[in-house]
Amino acid sequence: MSASSPPSPTTSGVSSPGSPDVVPEWNVRHLKMPTAPPSRISDSPLFRELRESVAKETVAVTFACGGSVPVVPSLVDAAEEADDEALRATSCLPIDLRWDSDEKATLSSETKLTLPLEPNTENNLDRLIKDMTPATFGRGGEHVYDESYRKALKLDPTRFSSTFNPYELGIVDTIAQTLLPSLRHSQQTRSVKAELYKLNLYSGPSGKFKAHVDTPRSPTQFGSLVVCLPLEHRGGALEVRHKGKTVTFDWSNSKDDGKGASVGWAAFYSDCEHEVLEVTEGHRLTLTYNLFCVRGNGQLGGNCPWLDATHLPLYKTVLALVQDDGWEKGE
């Protein structure tokens, strides 16, 4: 599944009829920006910056990406109407969240939330807040809790589960194509693995995480993914910075803004400074994932211990063929 595939090749694409090994390619580095179009816009410093940025390494300027997925009560209608399976990836169902409580004798119905919040479930949100613990951060090799720097709560992934799946919605594919584009046509195939790291809650007033850079968990971690679940709040924009540029992801929302519920997401490289601005009202509830560059599955041959070849439909045919006398004699 691919949420955003590159446009088909144009004159700038490399296409070689008769040579199946050469895949037609759309690569932004092959794009020729118009040279000095006869309009005032070409003199604009912004146009010049855009031209220079595209001409340089695209990777160097695309340090973050993100989007939002509308939440709909049911997927069936929209998909049937358009008769298009791909439509399923452009919206998602309300998200169920379940967690373990330390409180004795808690009913499972009390440790479940559906987001956007269903009527009369505010008590469950209160329960979740009680069951979460203060979120620390790394300082000088230690985990510290300092509300003047980070005011948030957390739950470890061993203590909760959710129905949200960034793979199903094409978010992980989009990240791979946007943040690892240079690998798209390399001989080595690689994929992105998103590993759930935490559930975090930044509440108003004054929930925040001041400017910091995340610590990669391993040499293969290249970034982070933040997913903002549909819960009403104001403030709490995420700012991601790299080489003097800032990209802002503002997922604040309320029932009255007429926008409809959605899930916001942002991904960025590990070396980007980022900051969660103060949440002024409500609750900003997020899932965070560590993003790893992993071996892709483009080269199954010889390295696929989990695939049992004896269950492939052609196995018996090939077996019969190699056991045939004629085969051994090379006839």
Q: How far is the CB of 288 from Fe ion (least distance, A)?
A: 8
* 179 binding partner (options Fe ion, ligand AKG, none; Cβ < 5 to 8 Å by kind): none
- Locate 126 and state its tokens: 């209160």
Nearer to ligand AKG, 173 or 214 (CB): 214
Site track for ligand AKG across 83-102, x = CB under 6 A:
--------------------
Taking CB under 5 A as the rule, does residue 173 contact Fe ion?
Answer: no
Nearer to Fe ion, 89 or 227 (CB): 227
Q: Which of residues 183-202 bind ligand AKG (CB under 6 A)?
A: 200
* 276 binding partner (options ligand AKG, Fe ion, none; Cβ < 5 to 8 Å by kind): ligand AKG
Taking CB under 6 A as the rule, does residue 290 contact ligand AKG?
Answer: no
Q: Are 222 and 291 in contact (CB under 8 A)?
A: yes
Helix, strand, coil share (%) of the chain residues, nearest 5: 25, 35, 40
Listed residue (44, 22, 70) closest to 262, CA to CA: 70
Nearer to ligand AKG, 99 or 209 (CB): 209
Taking CB under 6 A as the rule, does residue 226 contact ligand AKG?
Answer: yes
Residues counted in the chain: 331
* Dihedral pair phi/psi, residue 295, rounded to 5°: -60, 135
Taking CB under 5 A as the rule, does residue 223 contact Fe ion?
Answer: no
* Dihedral pair phi/psi, residue 80, rounded to 5°: -70, -40
Nearer to Fe ion, 173 or 214 (CB): 214
* 174 binding partner (options Fe ion, ligand AKG, none; Cβ < 5 to 8 Å by kind): none
Which residue, judged by CB position, is nearest to ligand AKG in the bound state?
238
Listing DSSP states for 123-176 in one string gives HHHHHHHHH-EE--EEETTEEE--TTTEE-EEE-GGGEEES--TTTTTHHHHHH
* Dihedral pair phi/psi, residue 253, rounded to 5°: -160, 155
Residue of 160, 176, 214, 247 that binds Fe ion (CB under 5 A): 214
End-to-end C-alpha distance for the chain, whole angstroms: 44
Label residue 74 exposed, middle or buried (CB < 10 Å: 0-12, 13-18, 19+): exposed
- Locate 196 and state its tokens: 């759930």
Taking CB under 6 A as the rule, does residue 238 contact ligand AKG?
Answer: yes
Listed residue (256, 251, 258) closest to 235, CA to CA: 251
* 131 binding partner (options ligand AKG, Fe ion, none; Cβ < 5 to 8 Å by kind): none
**How far apart (Å, rounded) are the C-alpha atoms in residues 167 and 89?**
10
Binding site for Fe ion (CB under 5 A): 214
**Contact positions toward ligand AKG, by CB under 6 A?**
200, 209, 214, 226, 238, 274, 276, 286, 288
